[in-house]
A and B are shown apart, each in its own frame.
Chain A
Amino acid sequence: MAQAATVQEQHGHIADTNTGISNRKLLMWVFLASDCLFFGSFIATYLVYRNESIVGPYPNEVLDIPITSVSTFVLLMSSLAMVLALNYAQKDQLGLTRFWILAVAVLGAIFLGFQVFEFATFVNEGLTIRSNLFGTTFFILTGFHGLHVLIGVLWLLGTAFAHFKGALTSRSVEDLEMAGLYWHFVDIVWIIIFTVIYLIGFSDGEGLETIEHAATIIGG
């Protein structure tokens, strides 16, 4: 208890609530837990309709692993930049805090650039949201993830702007922590998407069972 009290005095992180956690932070975690359901449903839908497309383009024709690996690396490093920004904010090092917040926003924007490039390439190769089940489930899943990244970039730019306008206070450190939690969540969702859709699902081609079923319908 004495140690806990000392720590409390040193850090001052204990919120004056029943849980000892600030209500905003608890609410953010509840939101992130609910967002798990949001993306979990989309990923499950993708897998349910995996190998069910009867017309191309199929995943093994359009997915580009080297480019997506680079964009995944960029997003991972943006998470590192985010935690460094919060770390420096907790130490009241304002200059480094601003630098790393902007670094996160820039890395997030680069990731979005990769995604726009990928989407444009897919459309040029004939894969749209209406082409087949792969296109529908893929664009919905990765599109909503991209929307989350866009919101995160705008949020961080707003936070950086606010920090340029005024001094960093204990309140704004918590603001930055909220933005950080959201950003890391976007990162972990991409970790799952990259593995499941890109690395595991890369070899997906024509669904043979579906083709046989379609042939049965056409034939008879």
Chain B
Amino acid sequence: MTNPISRAWRKLFYQDGGSYFLLPKVDSSFLDPPNEGPFGDAGPPVWRWIGRMTYGGKVATPFFYTVIGVWLALLTLIEVYFFTIDAFFGAFFVTIMLLLALLKFIIVVAFFMHLRFDKSLLTLVFTAGFLIAILVFVIMLSVQGQLTPAPMVAP
């Protein structure tokens, strides 16, 4: 932990380094963290301020969840705004929209469904199902040509 690069590396990949991301597993046995803002203690000072604001003692405060809810609403607004200027993004429009949806998905699963704070086995179970679903998805799209029926003209 001597230079900024190694610090950033630890925050990216390790839980014990005040990581940037809250989604990776934590070996915690309690439902809500005792002092866990939306970004923990990582990130710029404003996030630490929010972390202190959402400190609730033994369990997270309603304000903590309200902040998460506001983020979700803002992300939805951004999605709809991007939809109105889709020509601006051109070929990247689909990718950007899918990334925004994935971000909302992760936020709900991690915080509202408490996977971030729960035992990692639950994350493993759900991720396995989700990845198999993605696999089915990819297989179906890859054999799309064979699945598409010959067009029939309505009588």
Listed in ascending order, the chain A residues whose CB lies under 8 Å from chain B are: 4, 7-8, 10-11, 13-14, 19-21, 25-26, 29-30, 32-37, 39-41, 43-45, 47-49, 52, 54-55, 65, 69, 72-73, 76-77, 79-80, 82-84, 87-88, 90-91, 180-181, 184-185, 187-188, 191-192, 194-196, 199-200, 202-203, 210, 213-214, 217-218
Contacts and interface: CB of A to CB of B under 8 A. Distances in A.
Q: Is the interface of B mostly helix, strand, loop or mixed?
A: helix
A77 B127 CA distance: 25
Interface residues of B, number: 59
Contacts of B52: none
Contacts, number: 172
Contact of B151 (A8, A47, A54, A69): A54
A69 B75 CA distance: 12
7 contacts: A32-B129, A41-B136, A54-B151, A76-B73, A82-B112, A192-B101, A195-B98
A177 to B, nearest CB: 8
A54 B153 CA distance: 7
A55 to B, nearest CB: 5
Contacts of A13: 29-31
A88 B86 CA distance: 41
B88 interface: no
Contacts of B126: 29, 32-33, 36
Contacts of B72: 76, 79-80
Interface in B101-155: 101, 104-105, 108-109, 111-113, 118-119, 121-122, 125-126, 128-130, 132-134, 136-137, 140-141, 144, 147-148, 150-154
A90 B94 CA distance: 40
